[in-house]
């Protein structure tokens, strides 16, 4: 079956509906309707690869082939509703991480999270945990408490596809968040706005929705909340019991009331839908309000993250030109896509260090707004760094001790000669969706050093493929 798949001509990269001018935005009804493969927009290897890049941190050859045979709907079912063994896997990894959280550093936690991303049977949850880590951005550089950071990331993972109301409610009282935002002391005489301002402007509503007075009044509702020795404490005498005016509502509010009031604002659901749109669909375009509104209205009913995610991933828009290769992979995604594709794992402590040097240090987002992403990931120095990381991952010696072996993997799937092995790698990493001249140049370059072994030449080819501009895009 594997060699037959290599010889089957693939359809071109996805388009919209086939008749709509490229610059036009689709109607919302069409955009959010479920994608149904047909002759005009068939279910292809390109679309399967697109889905796994966005929703699973990459895929191996067997997963891509199974997706092709199972079809889009069943493949999405599997990603959205993980197998029962995901529970035991996460429980085991929670224990591993708990044993690594006993210091001020989060480096060991970072290594375990990378391993979890590579091996998890529930990859969509890890994708969304990473999304929320970027959205509710807290750095251990400020927290300096591994156990508090572990509980914070576990909170994100637990709620990643759950109820956003619960996620937001837990976030505002997380010791790591309070420490990271320098909001660990909230005294009645001096309300602390360090948590409340990003809560309004970055986490829940977006910029320019609330006034400075709204922020000040909400900060009064958080008085009495403290963190001592990494643990949250309530000091009732420090809570301001006075009447507060927040976003047009008046009352003797506490922090749970602030969360409720925020989520009653139309801006809240719109903000989160737009943020998730950038993560799952496109960071290139700013979609018009009438495209976002149906999802925002539905999301505001019960703030079900899974339902919102599912609607986006099943949609016509997700499988259209508007989404295809319209986001730059972060360094973590770049590495995971290589490692998962080659069906191995690597020393993730070393990997975490290298990804930090590429600009994505897990547990250490640079600001309260997270990583800038987009073109910030692919300036010239970053591309050189990515090429060096790929060379280290794919090398036969030194850093990763021959853990990833593309030549052996190609033979496993019965691509036994160098030509078919090269074609296999193009299908695996970029679904062979390249300009024909680029493809031909890559394959002709395989034999540039005929004195080297096939393994060495295939390793170099794999390195060139994952350094292509097309591979940098999710």
Per-residue burial over 451-470, b = 16 or more CB atoms within 10 Å of its CB, e = otherwise: eeebbebbbbbbbbbbbeee
pLDDT on residue 224: 97
319, 59 contact by CB (below 8 A): no
Q: Read off the pLDDT of each residue in 15-39 and give the average, rounded to a whole number.
A: 76
Interacting residues of 330 by C-beta distance below 8 A, sequence separation 6+? 360, 371, 373, 377
C-alpha to C-alpha distances, 331 to 323, 359, 369, 389, nearest whole angstrom: 20, 7, 18, 10
pTM of the model: 0.93
In the predicted model, what is the mean pLDDT of residues 327-356? 96
Residue 270 above 80 pLDDT?
A: yes
Instruction: Judge whether 199 lies within some domain.
Output: yes
Q: What is the CA radius of gyration of the chain?
A: 24
**Does any domain span residue 121?**
no
Residue 293 lies in a domain: yes
Residue 294 in any domain: the answer is yes
Q: What is the pLDDT of residues 210-246, one digit of tens each?
A: 999 999 999 999 999 999 999 999 999 999 999 999 9
Mean pLDDT over each residue of the chain, to the nearest integer: 93
- Provide the pLDDT confidence category of residue 395 given band limits of 50, 70 and 90: confident
Q: Give the distance, in angstroms, between the CA of residue 51 and the centroid of all CA atoms in the same chain.
A: 13
Q: Does the residue 90 lie in any domain? A: no
pLDDT-based confidence at residue 3 (cuts at 50, 70, 90): very low
* Domain residue limits at 286: 181-305
Residue 58 lies in a domain: no
d(CA 168, CA 111): 26
The reply to whether 237 falls in a domain is yes
* Residue 107 clears pLDDT 60, i.e. is over it: yes
pLDDT in tens, 137-188: 999 999 999 999 999 999 999 999 999 999 999 999 999 999 999 999 999 9
Decide if 192 is inside a domain.
yes
pLDDT tier, 103 (very low <50, low <70, confident <90, very high otherwise) = confident
Number of structural domains, the chain?
A: 1
What is the structure's pLDDT at 356? 97
pLDDT of residue 23: 59
Please name the residue that has the structure tokens 């799952």.
280
């Amino acid at each position: 079956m594997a060699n037959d798949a290599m010889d089957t001509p693939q359809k071109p990269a996805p388009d919209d509906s086939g008749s709509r001018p490229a610059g036009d935005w689709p109607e919302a009804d069409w955009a959010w309707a479920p994608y149904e493969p047909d002759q005009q927009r068939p279910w292809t290897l390109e679309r399967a690869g697109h889905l796994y890049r966005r929703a699973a941190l990459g895929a191996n050859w067997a997963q891509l082939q199974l997706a092709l045979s199972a079809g889009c709907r069943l493949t999405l079912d599997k990603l959205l509703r993980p197998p029962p063994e995901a529970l035991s896997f996460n429980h085991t990894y929670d224990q591993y991480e708990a044993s690594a959280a006993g210091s001020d550093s989060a480096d060991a936690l970072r290594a375990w999270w990378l391993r979890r991303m590579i091996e998890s049977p529930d990859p969509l949850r890890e994708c969304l945990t990473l999304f929320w880590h970027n959205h509710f951005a807290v750095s251990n550089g400020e927290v300096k408490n591994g156990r508090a950071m572990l509980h914070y990331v576990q909170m994100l993972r637990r709620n990643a596809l759950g109820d956003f109301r619960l996620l937001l409610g837990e976030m505002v009282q997380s010791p790591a968040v309070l420490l990271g935002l320098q909001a660990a002391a909230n005294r009645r005489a001096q309300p602390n706005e360090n948590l409340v301002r990003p809560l309004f402007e970055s986490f829940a509503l977006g910029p320019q929705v609330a006034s400075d007075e709204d922020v000040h009044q909400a900060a009064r509702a958080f008085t009495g909340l403290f963190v001592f020795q990494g643990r949250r404490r309530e000091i009732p005498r420090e809570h301001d019991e006075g009447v507060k005016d927040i976003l047009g509502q008046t009352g003797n509010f506490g922090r749970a009331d602030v969360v409720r009031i925020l989520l009653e604002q139309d801006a809240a659901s719109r903000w989160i839908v737009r943020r998730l749109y950038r993560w799952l669909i496109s960071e290139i375009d700013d979609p018009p309000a009438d495209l976002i509104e149906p999802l925002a209205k539905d999301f505001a009913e019960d703030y079900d993250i899974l339902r919102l995610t599912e609607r986006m991933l099943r949609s016509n828009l997700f499988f259209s030109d508007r989404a295809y290769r319209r986001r730059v992979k972060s360094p973590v995604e770049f590495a995971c896509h290589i490692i998962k594709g080659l069906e191995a794992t690597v020393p993730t402590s070393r990997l975490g260090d290298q990804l930090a040097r590429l600009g994505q240090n897990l547990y250490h987002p640079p600001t309260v707004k997270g990583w800038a992403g987009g073109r910030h990931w692919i300036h010239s120095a970053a591309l050189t760094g990515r090429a060096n990381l790929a060379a280290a991952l794919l090398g036969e010696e030194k850093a990763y001790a021959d853990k990833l072996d593309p030549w052996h993997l190609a033979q496993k799937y019965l691509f036994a000669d160098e030509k078919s092995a090269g074609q296999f790698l193009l299908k695996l990493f970029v679904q062979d969706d390249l300009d024909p001249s680029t493809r031909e140049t890559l394959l002709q370059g395989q034999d540039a050093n005929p004195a080297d072994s096939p393994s060495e030449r295939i390793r170099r080819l794999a390195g060139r493929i994952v350094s292509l501009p097309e591979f940098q895009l999710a």
